[in-house]
Amino acid sequence: MNLARQIEQYLPQPLLALVKDISGQAAKQRERVYLVGGVVRDLLLGYPNFDLDLVVEGDAVRLAQRVAETGQARLLAHHRFGTAKLRYENFILDLATARKETYARPGALPAVTPGTLKDDLIRRDFSINAMAISLAPNDYGELIDTHQGRTDLEHRLIRILHPGSFTDDATRILRAVCYEQRFGFKFETQTARLLKRGIPMLDTISGDRIRHELEHIFEEKRPELVIKRLGDLGALHRIHSSLAGDGWIAEKFDKARRHKKPAQLPPLYFCFLVYSFSENELGQFLTRLNLPAKLSRIMRDTLHLKTSLRLLDRPSLKHSEIHCLLREYQPLAIQANAMATESPTARRSLQLFLTKLRYVRTSLDGEELKKLGISAGPEMGKVLERLHKAKLDGEVRTRADEKKLALSLSPKL
């Protein structure tokens, strides 16, 4: 089957021209380049996907270096693995030397050695991701489908390539569920059986790799579907015994998606995922997944604030009191609680802080107070704090009001 016409229609012209140039440069060195993996799958399905994976039967790093020298790409090369990444303004190209893999033990990262396209395709996770399209001039557009991936696409099936697939790398369980939910596919019969049997093998996977897969799940349009399915299969419990994929999670994920920017969604998803945890359970989870310090703080703040929400469940709170209660928390932790709390009063206070109170500043600063005769040190700090509270509560509105209050406070201090 030749897909040359489909490629011409599918890829934007600048990207198509670049791919042809890369293949042409490879041909001069008697090397072959193939379009592989997800982009081939998505082309056949009609889904847009312009972050391309290219496999080179030859030296991918050397080829990428030649391309970067003549273009506007930013090059990131990994000589040890035979891979390179070319970053352009609107898209990314990944080049990899065709390779074969062996696993020393379940869950370990594979040992990689150079190989052929056939070797490279058999190492992949599922048949729908194990197709390639030749970009070589003599057979441009030819589909290489040695594992019947196109047939499985037509039958809407997810199928592993060999019985030991989930044992070698149990992260494939998480990716299988992602594809199942993204495309509305089903597991092929043997794949479904081996997937369930392989769930305990998630214990062999490092926390960093589990976290990486969760981050990818949170990039899905509806990650709550993946989380629920993983919960039903028992896979969430292998990551942490307290994780659940219930309706509450789905509701909060959907709410976040309707109100927040895409960049804010992953940390919010993580916060909702652990919202029912105790402090001890959260500590175990953070350690297991080796989560970055910034995200860890947001998640810790989320749970700590949850236990203090009763203090905000009072309509008579002054603005300065709300600010005092919330100023030390990360904004995303406050946002997570605003979406999670059942108390309208607490929610209003949280949203008021996020939208207004945290931005309130006095007109006078330390230098201005010095000019009024107030000495630097504890005295000035107390005056600044009192001014800020008065500004929050509307007791002062103008610069003149602030000066008058500062001068009235100074003798008393």
Q: What is the pLDDT of residues 63-80, one digit of tens each?
A: 888 888 877 778 888 887
- Long-range contact set of residues 265-269: C-beta below 8 Å, sequence gap at least 24: 265/218, 266/215, 266/218, 266/219, 267/295, 267/298, 267/299, 267/332, 268/332, 268/335, 268/336, 268/339, 269/218, 269/223
- The whole model's pTM is what? 0.87
- Rounded to 5°, the CA angle 170-173-175 comes to 115
Q: H-helix or E-strand containing 113?
A: strand 111-114
CA distance to 255, 272, 276, 390, per residue, from 305 (Å): 20, 13, 13, 25
> Are the C-beta atoms of residues 147 and 127 closer than 8 Å to each other?
yes
Nearest-angstrom CA–CA distance, 273 and 224: 10
* pLDDT tens digits along 375-401: 788 888 888 899 899 999 999 889 999
Beta bridge partners of 186: 157
Q: Could you give the domains of the chain? A: 1-154 (3.30.460.10), 158-270 (1.10.3090.10), 296-359 (no CATH), 366-409 (no CATH)
CA distance to 282, 288, 299, per residue, from 291 (Å): 11, 8, 10
* pLDDT tens digits along 156-199: 999 999 999 999 999 999 999 999 999 999 999 999 999 999 99
Question: So what's the pLDDT on residue 104?
Answer: 62
Nearest-angstrom CA–CA distance, 93 and 75: 10
* pLDDT tens digits along 106-129: 766 766 777 899 999 998 999 999
Quick check: helix, strand or coil at residue 54? strand
> What phi and psi, each to the nearest 5 degrees, are found at residue 52?
-95, 145
End-to-end CA gap in the chain: 86
pLDDT in tens, the chain (413 residues): 899 999 999 998 888 988 998 898 888 888 899 999 899 999 999 998 888 899 999 889 988 888 888 777 788 888 877 899 988 877 888 999 998 877 767 766 766 777 899 999 998 999 999 999 999 988 999 999 999 999 999 999 999 999 999 999 999 999 999 999 999 999 999 999 999 999 999 999 999 999 999 999 999 999 999 999 999 999 999 999 999 888 999 999 999 999 888 889 999 999 999 999 999 999 999 999 999 999 999 999 999 999 999 999 998 899 999 999 999 999 999 999 999 999 999 999 999 999 999 999 998 888 888 888 887 888 888 888 998 999 999 998 899 998 888 888 866 54
Which pair of structure tokens corresponds to residue 387? 């001014």
> Are the C-beta atoms of residues 17 and 91 closer than 8 Å to each other?
no
Q: Which of 34, 41, 38 is nearest to 60 (CA)?
A: 34
Question: So what's the pLDDT on residue 133?
Answer: 95
Nearest-angstrom CA–CA distance, 193 and 197: 6
DSSP states of 244-274: ---HHHHHHHHHHHHHS-GGGHHHHHHHHHT
In angstroms and rounded to an integer, the radius of gyration of the C-alpha atoms of the chain is: 28
> Are the C-beta atoms of residues 58 and 29 closer than 8 Å to each other?
yes
